[in-house]
């Protein structure tokens, strides 16, 4: 059998000398072995009926495993408890997974074992010819194209040609109005620079109750949302009110009126990539973002002390209304969250 393959390899035009099938290959000429010499060892050719029987049973066993897996999957799907609180309900998905694994892998492993053991595995030769067309076909194609170009009349009628080019160019310009939908033009309304907070909104906690002076002790924090319809669900408006000792709070001149007796409010959306910065360390008055470990100083306008954040957390200026509840004096002093191209003009050191 190997002889005929070698003969066929020789026939394709390779002139290298065929060596005897068992002779060692010269590594000086072909470091990886002579590629024209077949080294394929047929497993199937040497298969005796006993080994074949064993292999057949092994493959059949794997296929049967696939059947068992499928039946088990269906049985689990129908009968295994899955409602919260039922006995063993937490093992519902693992049971489905295990049986599905048996079903699919049984089929796959069976097929692989079958291909390795029982399938005929002779080496065959595939012809490789040049893929390009014959020369006369190439010339014929070129002639047709040239003829077609001449027939179109573009060469003959200059006004036609020029007006056609102009029409194509004009059509390309249609893309220009679409550019006005992008970037700076799109953000004219500065939607991303606004949150749900506005002047006079009370600070509501997560259960909707307004926060008043005296609710927090020194070292206390509370998650607050604006007092607008749907405010509790406004993700960009999430803020944290922190109380610390007034003497610890370093307020720069322009932000002196933004705090009330040691109470200060910052946005919790990290200016790095937007994770919630709610880890407050009472004694160090640091705010810590768990995602990339940006650390902000809550006592100093949420200045970045460590980590990849490049800007302070936006601060919400607060004051008290006549009934003693905390209210915002306006929106945050800058857009919340990570940077974006049109962000910079919206930064203010006074209340918006």
Partner 1 sequence: MTSTRSRFSGYAVVVLALALLGGVYTAVAAPKTEAEDPVNQSIAVKEGRELYLQGCSTCHGLNNQGGAGGPSLIGVGASSVIFQVESGRMPLARGAAQAQRKMSKYDRTQTDQLAAYIQSVGGGPELPAGRLDDGELALGGDLFRTNCSSCHNFAGVGGALTRAKYAPSLTEASARVIYTAMQTGPENMPRFSDNTLTPDEKRAITRYVRHLTTEAKDPGGAGLGRYGPVPEGLVVFLVGMGLLIVITLWIGARA
What is the rounded CA–CA span in Å between residue 317 and residue 332?
Answer: 7
* Residue 223 C-beta: closest distance to partner 1, Å: 5
**Is residue 13 involved in binding partner 1 (CB under 8 A)?**
no
Q: Is 114 in the site for partner 1 (CB under 8 A)?
A: no
Among 201, 271, 295, 312, binds partner 1 (CB under 8 A): 295
CA atoms within 13 A on the CB side of 90: 1
Closest by alpha carbon to 38, among 92, 1, 63? Answer: 1
Q: Residues binding partner 1: what is the number (CB under 8 A)?
A: 36
- Distance between CA atoms of residues 33 and 39, nearest Å: 9
Q: Which is nearer to partner 1, 197 or 288 (CB)?
A: 288
Closer CB to partner 1, residue 45 or residue 142?
Answer: 45
Q: Where in 202-231 is the site for partner 1 (CB under 8 A)?
A: 206, 214-223
* Cβ 54 to partner 1 shortest distance, Å: 14
Measured over the CA atoms of residue 12, residue 16, residue 20 and residue 25, the dihedral's sign is: negative
- The residue among 86 and 257 lying less far from partner 1, judged by its C-beta, is 86
Nearer to partner 1, 117 or 312 (CB): 117
Number of residues that make up the chain: 352
* Both structure tokens of 306: 């460590």
Kindly identify the residues of this chain, within the stretch 79-108, that bind partner 1 according to CB under 8 A: 89-91, 93-94
Q: Using CB under 8 A, which residues numbered 19 to 48 contact partner 1? A: 41, 43
Residue 301 has φ and ψ, to the nearest 5°, of: 55, 30
- According to DSSP, the residues that pair with 210 across neighbouring strands are 204
Angle at the Cα of 311 from the Cα atoms of 305 and 315, rounded to 5 degrees = 95
How many Å is the Cα radius of gyration of the chain? 39
| Contact present, 203 and 223 (Cβ < 8 Å) | no
Q: Are 92 and 76 in contact (CB under 8 A)?
A: yes
Window contacting partner 1 (CB under 8 A); options: 25-33, 62-70, 113-121, 255-263: 113-121
By CB under 8 A, residue 180 contacts partner 1: no
Residues 272-291 contacting partner 1, CB under 8 A: 276, 278-284, 286, 288, 290
Footprint of partner 1 on this chain (CB under 8 A)?
41, 43, 89-91, 93-94, 112, 116-117, 121, 206, 214-223, 276, 278-284, 286, 288, 290, 293, 295, 306
């Amino acid at each position: 059998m190997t002889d005929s393959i070698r003969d066929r390899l020789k026939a394709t035009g390779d002139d290298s000398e065929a060596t005897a099938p068992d002779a060692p290959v010269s590594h000086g000429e072909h470091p990886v072995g002579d590629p024209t010499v077949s080294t394929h060892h047929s497993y199937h050719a040497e298969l005796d009926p006993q080994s074949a029987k064993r292999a057949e049973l092994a493959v059949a066993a794997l296929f049967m495993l696939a059947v068992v897996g499928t039946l088990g999957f269906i049985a689990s799907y129908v009968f295994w408890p899955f409602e919260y609180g039922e006995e063993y309900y937490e093992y519902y998905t693992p049971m489905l997974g295990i049986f599905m694994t048996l079903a699919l892998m049984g089929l796959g492993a069976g097929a692989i074992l079958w291909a390795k053991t029982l399938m005929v595995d002779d080496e065959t030769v595939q012809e490789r010819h040049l893929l390009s067309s014959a020369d006369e076909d190439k010339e014929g194609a070129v002639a047709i194209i040239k003829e077609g170009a001449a027939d179109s009349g573009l060469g003959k009628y200059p006004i036609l040609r020029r007006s056609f080019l102009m029409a194509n160019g004009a059509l390309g310009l249609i893309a220009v109005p679409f550019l006005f939908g992008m970037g700076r033009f799109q953000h004219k309304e500065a939607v991303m620079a606004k949150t749900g907070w506005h002047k006079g909104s009370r600070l509501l906690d997560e259960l909707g109750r307004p926060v008043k002076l005296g609710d927090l002790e020194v070292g206390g924090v509370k998650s607050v949302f604006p007092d607008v319809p749907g405010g509790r669900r406004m993700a960009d408006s999430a803020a944290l009110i922190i109380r610390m000792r007034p003497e610890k709070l370093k307020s720069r001149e322009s932000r002196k009126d933004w705090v009330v007796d040691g109470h200060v409010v910052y946005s919790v959306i990290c200016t790095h990539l937007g994770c919630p910065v709610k880890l407050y360390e009472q004694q160090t008055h640091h705010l810590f973002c768990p995602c990339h470990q940006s650390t902000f100083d809550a006592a100093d306008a949420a200045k970045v002390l460590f980590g990849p954040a490049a800007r302070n957390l936006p601060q919400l200026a607060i004051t008290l209304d006549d009934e003693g509840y905390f209210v915002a004096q306006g929106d945050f002093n800058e857009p919340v969250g990570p940077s974006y191209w049109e962000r910079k003009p919206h930064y203010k050191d006074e209340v918006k």
